[in-house]
Amino acid sequence: MTRTHFRFNVCSFLTVVSPIAKTISAALLAFHFLAPVMAADEKAKDEPKKVASSQTPDQTSAPLTITLQDALDRARLNSPQFQAAIIEYQLAREDQVQARAALLPNALYTTQYLYTQGNGTPTGRFIANNGVHEYLSQADVHQAFGLSQFAEYRRSQAAEAVAKAKSEIAARGLTVTVVQSYYAVIVAQRRFATVQQAAEEARRFLKITQDLESGGEVARSDVIKAQLQFNDRQRDLSEARVTMERTRLSLGILLFPDFNQNFMVVDDLEHAPPLPPFAEVQQLAQQNNPDLRAALSALQVASQEMRVAKAGYLPSLSLDYFYGIDATRFATKTEGIPNVGSAAIATVSIPLWNWGATRSKVHQADLRRQQARVELTFAQRQLLSNLRSFFGEAAASHDQLETLRSSAELAADSLRLTTLRYQAGEASVLEVVDAQNTLTQNRNAYDDGEMRFRVALAALQTLTGSF
């Protein structure tokens, strides 16, 4: 090969390779600039996955186990009605502090500068001032005496007692609500389990009828009846699941400040406390009933408001003691004469005429006191009525528990025996279906009876307190 030919081939080779090299260089340059952007895009694609995983820890974490006492404690923290009653009680306590402070001397320190337009005399144009330039820097101890202050303090004490009783009423009412919602969840879970067992029984019975039909031992109508029973149990299972979720939502709203369903309740329906005798319950109601205390305290408030209103007819006395400077120079001495000194003022205010305003206030207070008396007597009658009614409900539901438990056990045994008799050809398909329905009804009735007793017990304790 000649040198000329070789040079030509090299040139041809470079001519072909050069565009390819430029393309590769451009691609590398583009990748160099686009790599951070692509990495950011990939990071952005992964970001929703991280957010989604961070939003579902409650669904993946272990559920929170809550007892009845835990539920009561949580509900007190998150109930707006109960917290409002607590705030009212705290406000009433602050009112009492302020009323007590009004009975005690109070001290005030003031500093003033008074300028009066001059008229060539030392006092200036306004004779009420001591000079053209006057400086006041004094401490004032003030004390007021009057029947209204003492009556107002006693009224604030009674109002605090009313607010305290109402907060206890709110607490006991909240207890009934929580008990009802708490055990509604347990009963709904039990009903769901009962329907699951009933659905399994219906499925097993459907299989039995199909096997017997294939052997020519029963008619096709038995299979149809068993199939209808199985279909009904499937619908009942769906409804029980919806009811269980609804009761959990109702309880979750009471217990948690945010939306939380990841919890489980402790089934303690079978460990209900015993019901004390009526004499003991009646004694507890007389001692611990908050409605009666609230009505009695409200009467005391009305009585003290009457005293406050009548104090408007009486004179009032106030004392002021001043110590400091009241001089034409802001100094302790003026030309060797001391400026610091003291003064005392005693004031007696005697009401003479106010166009019947005081008489109207007394009349208003008397009307409120009459209403408070009526409410107190009604609260006493209402307590006696509710006490007998709530105790009767609790006693009746407690006495029925043993019967309901026995009925559920007998219904289970009846279903077992009826199914055996059907397989032996001694019972009809209607008897088996009736036994299945009877078992479901009796199990649900037993669960409802246990919940009824717990709710009745909580309602009775709103009158008596815990026992």
Question: What is the Cα–Cα distance from 322 to 154, expressed in whole angstroms?
Answer: 30
The pLDDT value given to residue 53: 31
Helix (H, G, I), strand (E, B) or coil at 331: coil
Query: What is the DSSP annotation of 206-275?
Result: HHHHHHHHHTTSS-HHHHHHHHHHHHHHHHHHHHHHHHHHHHHHHHHHHH-SS----EEE---GGGPPPP
Residue 13: is its pLDDT beyond 90?
no
Confidence of residue 335 (pLDDT cuts 50, 70, 90): confident
Question: What is the Cα–Cα distance from 141 to 302, expressed in whole angstroms?
Answer: 33
Residue 185: is its pLDDT beyond 50?
yes
* Cβ neighbourhood burial of 291 (10 Å; 0-12, 13-18, 19+): buried
Which of 356, 68, 361, 422 shows the shortest CA–CA distance to 211? 422
Which of 314, 404, 386, 296 shows the shortest CA–CA distance to 350? 314
Question: What is the Cα–Cα distance from 166 to 306, expressed in whole angstroms?
Answer: 23
Provide the mean pLDDT of the chain.
84
Which of 394, 388, 439 shows the shortest CA–CA distance to 418? 439
* Cβ neighbourhood burial of 414 (10 Å; 0-12, 13-18, 19+): middle
Residue 440, number of CB atoms within 10 A of its CB? 22
Residue 361: is its pLDDT beyond 90?
yes
pTM given for the model:
0.75
Instruction: Scan for tokens 């009313």, then name that residue.
Output: 162
The pLDDT value given to residue 36: 41
Residue 92: is its pLDDT beyond 60?
yes
Residue 88: is its pLDDT beyond 50?
yes
Helix (H, G, I), strand (E, B) or coil at 325: strand
Tell me the two tokens of residue 205: 């019975």
**Pairing, β 337-338 against β 316-327:** unpaired
Dihedral pair phi/psi, residue 277, rounded to 5°:
-65, 160
The pLDDT value given to residue 230: 95
Q: What does the pLDDT average to over 261-279?
A: 90
The pLDDT value given to residue 2: 38
Residues of the chain with pLDDT > 90: what percent?
Answer: 64
The pLDDT value given to residue 125: 56
The fold for domain 150-312+357-464 equals Outer membrane efflux proteins (OEP) (1.20.1600)
> Could you give the strand order of the β-sheet that contains 106-115, starting from the edge strand earlier in sequence?
106-115, 133-145, 316-327, 340-349
The pLDDT value given to residue 418: 95
Residue 5: is its pLDDT beyond 50?
no
Confidence of residue 332 (pLDDT cuts 50, 70, 90): confident
Query: What is the DSSP annotation of 124-151?
Result: -S-TTSSSSEEEEEEEEEEEEE-HHHHH
The pLDDT value given to residue 24: 43
Domain spans in the chain, listed from the N-terminal domain onward: 150-312+357-464
CA angle 423, 425, 431 (to 5 degrees): 80
**Pairing, β 64-66 against β 133-145:** unpaired
Under DSSP, the state recorded for 59 is H
Tell me the two tokens of residue 195: 């329907």
State the greatest distance between any 2 C-alpha atoms of the chain, in Å, as a whole number.
Answer: 142
Question: What is the Cα–Cα distance from 445 to 455, expressed in whole angstroms?
Answer: 15
Q: What does the pLDDT average to over 343-361?
A: 91
Confidence of residue 251 (pLDDT cuts 50, 70, 90): very high
DSSP-based helix, strand, coil % in the chain, nearest 5? 70, 10, 15
Residue 190: is its pLDDT beyond 60?
yes
Which of 443, 305, 467 shows the shortest CA–CA distance to 371? 305
Per-residue pLDDT tens over the stretch 280-294: 999 999 899 999 999
